[in-house]
Structure 1
Amino acid sequence: MSYLCDDARLIQSHLPPQARPPEDADALFLIYAVLMRAKGLGVTDVDVHDAWAAWMETRNPGHPALVPFDSLDESTRLADLPYVQAIHAATRERARPGRSG
């Protein structure tokens, strides 16, 4: 497995139990891993939604949430927050002394 797979698993490990990632979301978490490496603690809910939208475009191009983040209703926007928090937590963990990556 690659370093991106390791980062994707790290992000998943920081999701709260109530977060429900889509089934077969390995590719989505790889995109989140790239976001983490590129932006770290600067990752926003807009970034997470955009990453999800890119992934969803390949799975269901007619999905109703394939709109800009600002066009989403509040409950849908809030669904991105646990993923932002997991990416931030994984970023902090990866930055700890003695952790490679």
Structure 2
Amino acid sequence: MSYLRDDARLIRSHLPPHARPPHDVEGLFLLYAVLMRAKGEHVTDVDVHDAWAAWTEMRNPDHAALVPFEALDEATQRQDLPYVEAIRAAAGERGVSGAS
């Protein structure tokens, strides 16, 4: 297993049960692992949405949420929060402070 897959697995382990994604999102969590290494505990909901949008663009380019984070309604924006918190928790566990 590569270091990024290991980081992706750690991030997933920090998700609350209600935020468990489907099984076919390995590529998305690799992007989240890159975010963790680059931004660490400074990762934002905008960062998480942008990573999700890049991943979704390759899978479903017509998805309704492929808009900038600021254009999403509040309920949709909140869906990114568990992933932000999981990335931050994993970064803390790894000792990755990252850049702000």
TM-score, reference length from structure 2? 0.93
What is the aligned residue count? Answer: 96
Cα distance in 1 between the residues matched to 2:19 and 2:88: 15
Kindly report structure 1 stretches of 4+ aligned residues shifted beyond 4 Å. Answer: none
Q: Which amino acid aligns with 1:39?
A: K
Q: Does residue 4 in structure 1 map to residue 4 in structure 2? A: yes
What does 1:18-97 align with in structure 2 at a 5 Å threshold? 18-95=18-95
The one-letter amino acid of 1:11's match is I
What is the TM-score when the length of structure 1 is the normalising length? 0.92
Q: Which runs of 5+ in 2 are unaligned?
A: none
- Closer/same/farther in 2, CA of residues 17 and 78 from structure 1, 3 Å limit: same
Percent pairwise identity: 73
SS in 1 for 2:61: coil
Shift of 1:42: 0.8
Write out per-residue CA displacement over residues 61-94 of structure 1, whole angstroms, 9 at most, x where no aligned residue.
0000000000001110000000000000000111
Distance in 1, matches of 2:77 and 2:31, equals 19
Could you tell me which amino acid in structure 1 is paired with residue 82 of structure 2?
P
User: Once superposed, what is the RMSD of the aligned Cα atoms?
Assistant: 1.1
Give me the whole-angstrom Cα distance separating, in 1, the residues matched to 2:33 and 2:22. 16
Q: Distance in 2 between matches of 1:18 and 1:45?
A: 18
For 1:73 and 1:23, the matched residues in 2 are separated by: 26
